[in-house]
Structure 1
Amino acid sequence: MTAFTVRAPASSANLGPGFDSLGLSVPLYTTLRITPGNVTEVIPLGPELEGTPADESNYVYQAMLLVAKRTGLTLPPARVEITTDVPLARGLGSSAAALVAGIVAANELLGNPLDMDAVLDVAAREEGHPDNVAPALFGGIVVATLDKLGTHYVRLDPPVNLGVTVLIPDFELSTSKARAVLPREYSRADAVHALSHAALLAAALSQGRLDLLRHAMQDYIHQIWRAPLVPGLSDILEDAWRHGALGAALSGAGPTVLCFHDTRESTAPLHTYLSGVMKKNGLDGRVMDFPIDTQGTLIERDGLIEREG
């Protein structure tokens, strides 16, 4: 087998009320260059991966081993070069991109014994939820569930004129820390609020109802509890719509904040507002506009794309 490249995108999960079940793909990428050989080498490259393991304990290679475990096959030796422009521990699915890229790479090395539904299931069970791995694999916007029978999903093409603006602060927030602040129980009223708003958000995205996003993205399940960990988050959730956002949400476990915008309108007022919130709270960071990635994970060999998620 000749060398090939696997590229998996970043993702933003939850989008407000879609806790652990709703996400979209963002065009920042983790890329693996796989060269079959006689020995296994794991080589993380670039500043984002500085300090990550350069051996088989690396998370990407451990992801590759999941396919061998699921299929009962032996993973052949290969040189695995890893690069990424997905910021780590920022709520943009860096672990999901690494996981999906590793699983897809191993599946390719082994002759594709798993179909894409099985690839998703392996990834979702490793993560414990499908909200990041599903859009990383398939691109677009994905609603997904994980239960004992499997991982089930619906992929949506992004509505026309829907773009995302992300505020990426210059500090890390681990998912474990962000999950630790969540309550163990919720009231019936909060459960009904979550169910109704998640359903409305999925329906609005599927029908391109951009006017409903601000209302549909309200959440009482995780964002209000995580707000103290992300200075300025409460202000953004309350006021970003006044500055051009169609809706706002904590991206995954944070600290990145995602705003939807209409691509026909200038995002300059929104950028100014988000930068001002950071400055007010003594933070540095980046404000960036992106389209929603629609390709998902790609495999490229000899300059040709062979398969996409």
Structure 2
Amino acid sequence: MASKRNASGLTFKATMAQISVPATSANIGPGFDCFGLALELRDRYAAQVLDDETFDVDVTGEGADEVKKDSKNLVIKSMLRGFEHMGGKPRGIALRALNVIPHGRGLGSSASAIVGGLALARSLVLTGEQYMSDDDLITLATELEGHPDNVAAAFYGGATIAWVESKTNNDGSNTNIGKAVSLKVDDRIKALLLVPDNQLATAKARKLLPESIPHPDAVLNSARTALLVHALAERPDLLFTATEDLLHQSYRAQAMPKTIALVDKLRGAGLAAVVSGAGPSVMVLYAGGEDEIDQLQSIAPGFSAMKLAIAKAGVQ
């Protein structure tokens, strides 16, 4: 099949693009809105440009009955934003999605859809990297997601630190630009996810956060966040201390009391347990001790356990 040239000058590939995007856990305790960790649980997407003005969307797996099947589908919306950035868009798009990341559980399902859509758009344009750099993709993903932590980990894999910089435009307005760097993760570190049946909207969880916190709490979180970099890179024995948080988790107890109670119970047993993202899932980081980890399901009724490797690669 021949490639298709758009009036804007973009050349769309006629072949189908296929990618996968890992689940992600953000915050990791003290690293609120900046730390992200990619997990080896992947949503898979395939897309192709169409000559007809239509959006042919088919979704199977997690959330298949809940997500939109038209231009409002988050993967499609992200693809269209990516095409817009590159200077043109196709008449139509065919999308096939196989979702395995649980929705609304703090495991980055929306980040997967956003990064997946942008990566698909770039893959469907001849020399797409010239029109959308990696930095551009992270900025666009941050714009769509609202914060960069999950999207950075979904794109790069491993562990990431993400932040936002403000850029002043020619008209005097400001634009927030998402930035991120990758972190080394010790090969011994694995993750146990304890996932409840109920969902929790990130926006609801954020509304419970206070406008200010005590200065000693801020000092503790700053120290733990810095230590977390070292613990993830080469000192798994420090993960319990490095994942202590006083900034956000306890304030969200009202929205997810069972989650916070479980985190407290696990940490009381000396395990590096944190709320995964905005919750309500719980993540335990560990190195070794598989027998002890296998027994955790018995003390977490109402939560399903998943042992996951850290995803070394992001979108691919």
Displacement of 1:147: 1.4
Q: So what's the TM-score if we normalise by structure 1? A: 0.87
Matched, 1:237 2:263: yes
Whole-angstrom distance in 2 between the partners of 1:133 and 1:92: 11
Aligned to 1:157: 184
Residue in structure 2 matched with residue 90 of structure 1 by the alignment? 105
The residue type equivalent to 2:119 in the other structure is V
Which sections of structure 1, spanning at least 5 residues, go unmatched? 279-283, 299-309
In the other structure, the counterpart of 2:155 is 137
Q: Which amino acid aligns with 1:107?
A: R
28-37 vs 137-146, which moves further: 28-37
2:236 pairs with 1:210:
yes
CA distance in 2, matches of 1:152, 1:204: 22
Q: Within the alignment, does 1:65 sit opposite 2:90 as a pair?
A: no
Confirm or deny that 1:254 pairs with 2:282: no
Residue of structure 2 aligned with 1:177, choices 204, 218, 221: 204
Aligned counterparts, 1:10-25, within 5 A: 10-25=23-38
Write the letter of the residue equivalent to 1:11: T
Stretches (4+) displaced over 4 A: 241-244
Q: Distance in 2 between matches of 1:11 and 1:124?
A: 15
Secondary structure at the aligned position of 1:80 is classed as: strand
What do residues 149-170 of structure 1 show as CA deviations (whole Å, max 9, x unaligned)?
Answer: 4333221232021100010011
Answer whether contact 2:79 2:121 (CA < 8 A) is retained.
Answer: yes
Percent identity of paired positions between Structure 1 and Structure 2: 32
- Counterpart of 1:305 in structure 2 is none
Q: Contact between 1:157 and 1:294, CA under 8 Å: does it hold in 2?
A: no
Unaligned stretches of 5+ residues in structure 2: 1-13, 168-176
Quick one: distance in 2 between partners of 1:202 and 1:66? 33
Q: 1:36 maps to what in 2?
A: 49
CA drift at 1:214: 0.8
The question of whether the paired residues in 2 share the 8 Å contact of 1:9 and 1:136 is answered with yes
Amino acid at match of 2:276: S
Contact 2:21 2:154 in 1 (8 A): yes
Shift of 1:223: 0.3
The aligned amino acid for 1:273 is L
Look up the match of 1:168. Answer: 195
Q: Is the 8 A contact 1:240 1:248 kept in 2?
A: yes
In structure 2, the partner of 1:304 is none
Q: 1:145 to 1:60 in 2, by over 3 A?
A: same
Higher mean C-alpha deviation, range 92-101 or range 59-68: 59-68
Quick one: distance in 2 between partners of 1:165 and 1:134? 21
Q: Distance in 1 between matches of 2:184 and 2:226?
A: 17
RMSD: 1.8
Residue 310 of structure 2 corresponds to 292
How far apart are the structure 2 equivalents of 1:109 and 1:76?
A: 13
Superposed displacement of residue 59, structure 1: 1.2
Q: Does 1:224 align with 2:250?
A: yes
Q: Which moved more, 1:227-236 or 1:32-41?
A: 227-236
Give 1:67's aligned amino acid: G
What amino acid maps onto 1:194 in structure 2? Answer: N
TM-score by length of 2: 0.86
The answer to whether structure 1 residue 201 and structure 2 residue 201 are counterparts is no
Query: Is contact 2:183-2:229 (8 Å) kept?
Result: no
